């Protein structure tokens, strides 16, 4: 299964991608995580990307594409993947299509998760992430047993630099201007399914799995799958 999860910052793309990994037998490929790893490693790419990320702006395509291309070539992504945070513009979507075409592959489905802005601000301001294993918590909706430590690996929990309220508002503007047009792009290609992102994480993932089933059936009936 080659899947893209679309949605505004804080919509739950990362949470859902991690939950779906086992059910779909495909790894999460998160552009934000790849970029944050590069920043942590202080690579030349990471140093250049950091300035854009801290402002809530998009990182230039050539940097993001380098990371995505390398990640999609890894062994575990050969039979499928769950893209989270990429593509983010129509131009990135077109490059992805060419990249896959060169490998005689194509996307199976794109799921757009919708969540209203006020809920997004609440979700992002309460998010805590484990430095060691990347597990995600929310101080109210999904609190860890100890506010500073990961339940799974005891790693330190931290708040992302770009989760300050002003930066989140900027990220929402960037989403509206640059990423929302992707919905129409994928709708036109007959690949899009919209899913309501409000509710318990298990409810949202149930909706995604149902939408995937319906979308794949419809594509098979049209002969596009
Ligand atoms: P990225 O890391 O991709 O951030 P984002 O898209 O803004 O999304 P988030 O990771 O903030 O949210 P999410 O939708 O994954 O939600 P989550 O599951 O964490 O990108 C960061 C930056 O990198 C960008 O601003 C840009 O600079 C750069 N970048 C990345 N990709 C790029 C690209 N392709 N091109 C150019 N630049 C790029 O959930 C959020 C919180 O809500 C958590 O606390 C979670 O526990 C909680 N939660 C989740 N689901 C629920 C639920 N159903 N109910 C209640 N709480 C919930």
pLDDT tens for residues 117-154?
Answer: 999 999 999 999 999 998 999 999 999 999 899 999 99
Proportion of the chain above pLDDT 70, given as a percent: 97
pLDDT value at position 221? 74
| pLDDT above 60 for 81 | yes
Which pTM was predicted?
Answer: 0.93
Q: Is the peptide bond before 87 cis (omega within 30 degrees of 0)?
A: yes
Taking only the tens place, the pLDDT of each residue in 52-69 is 999 999 999 999 999 999
Distances, alpha carbon 46 to alpha carbons 66, 103, 105, in Å: 12, 28, 29
Q: Residue 201 — left, alpha, or beta (φ > 0 → left; ψ -120 to 50 → alpha)? A: alpha
Mean pLDDT of 180-205: 96
Check whether domain 2-26+79-116+176-224 has CATH 3.40.50.300, yes or no? yes
- What is the CB neighbour count within 10 angstroms for residue 83? 25
The torsion angles phi and psi of 216, rounded to 5 degrees, stand at -70, -35
Pocket test for ligand 1, best of 8, 12, 52, 62 (most atoms within 8 A of CB): 12
Distance of CA 86 to the CA centre of its chain: 7
Does residue 7's CB lie within 6 angstroms of at least one atom of ligand 1?
Answer: yes
Proportion of the chain above pLDDT 90, given as a percent: 87
- Token duo for residue 207: 């909706």
Domain boundaries, the chain: 2-26+79-116+176-224
Closest residue by CA, ligand 1 atom 44 = 127
Distances, alpha carbon 152 to alpha carbons 13, 82, 99, 134, 170, in Å: 20, 23, 36, 10, 32
**SS3 assignment, position 21:** helix
Does residue 127's CB lie within 6 angstroms of at least one atom of ligand 1?
Answer: yes
More confident of the two residues 217 and 72: 72
Separation of 218 CA from ligand 1 center, angstroms?
A: 29
Pocket test for ligand 1, best of 85, 160, 203 (most atoms within 8 A of CB): 85
Mean pLDDT of 163-180: 93
């Amino acid at each position: 299964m080659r899947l893209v999860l679309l949605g505004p910052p804080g919509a739950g793309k990362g949470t859902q991608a991690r939950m779906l990994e086992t059910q779909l037998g495909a790894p999460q490929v998160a552009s934000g995580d790849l970029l944050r790893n590069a920043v942590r490693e202080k690579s030349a790419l990471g140093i250049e990307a950091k300035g854009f990320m801290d402002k809530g702006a998009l990182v230039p395509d050539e940097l993001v594409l380098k990371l995505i291309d390398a990640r999609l070539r890894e062994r575990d992504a050969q039979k499928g993947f769950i893209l989270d945070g990429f593509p983010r513009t129509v131009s990135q979507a077109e490059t992805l299509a060419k990249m896959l075409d060169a490998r005689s592959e194509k996307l199976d489905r794109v799921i757009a998760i919708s969540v209203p802005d006020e809920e997004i601000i609440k979700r992002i301001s309460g998010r805590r992430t484990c430095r060691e294993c990347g597990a995600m918590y929310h101080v109210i909706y999904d609190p860890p047993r100890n506010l500073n430590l990961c339940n799974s690996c005891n790693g330190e929990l931290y708040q992302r630099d770009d989760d300050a309220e002003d930066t989140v508002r900027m990220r929402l503007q960037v989403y509206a201007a640059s990423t929302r047009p992707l919905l129409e792009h994928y709708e036109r290609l007959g690949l899009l399914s919209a899913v309501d992102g409000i509710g318990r994480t298990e409810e949202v993932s149930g909706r995604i799995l149902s939408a995937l089933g319906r979308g794949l059936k419809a594509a098979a009936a049209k002969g596009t799958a």
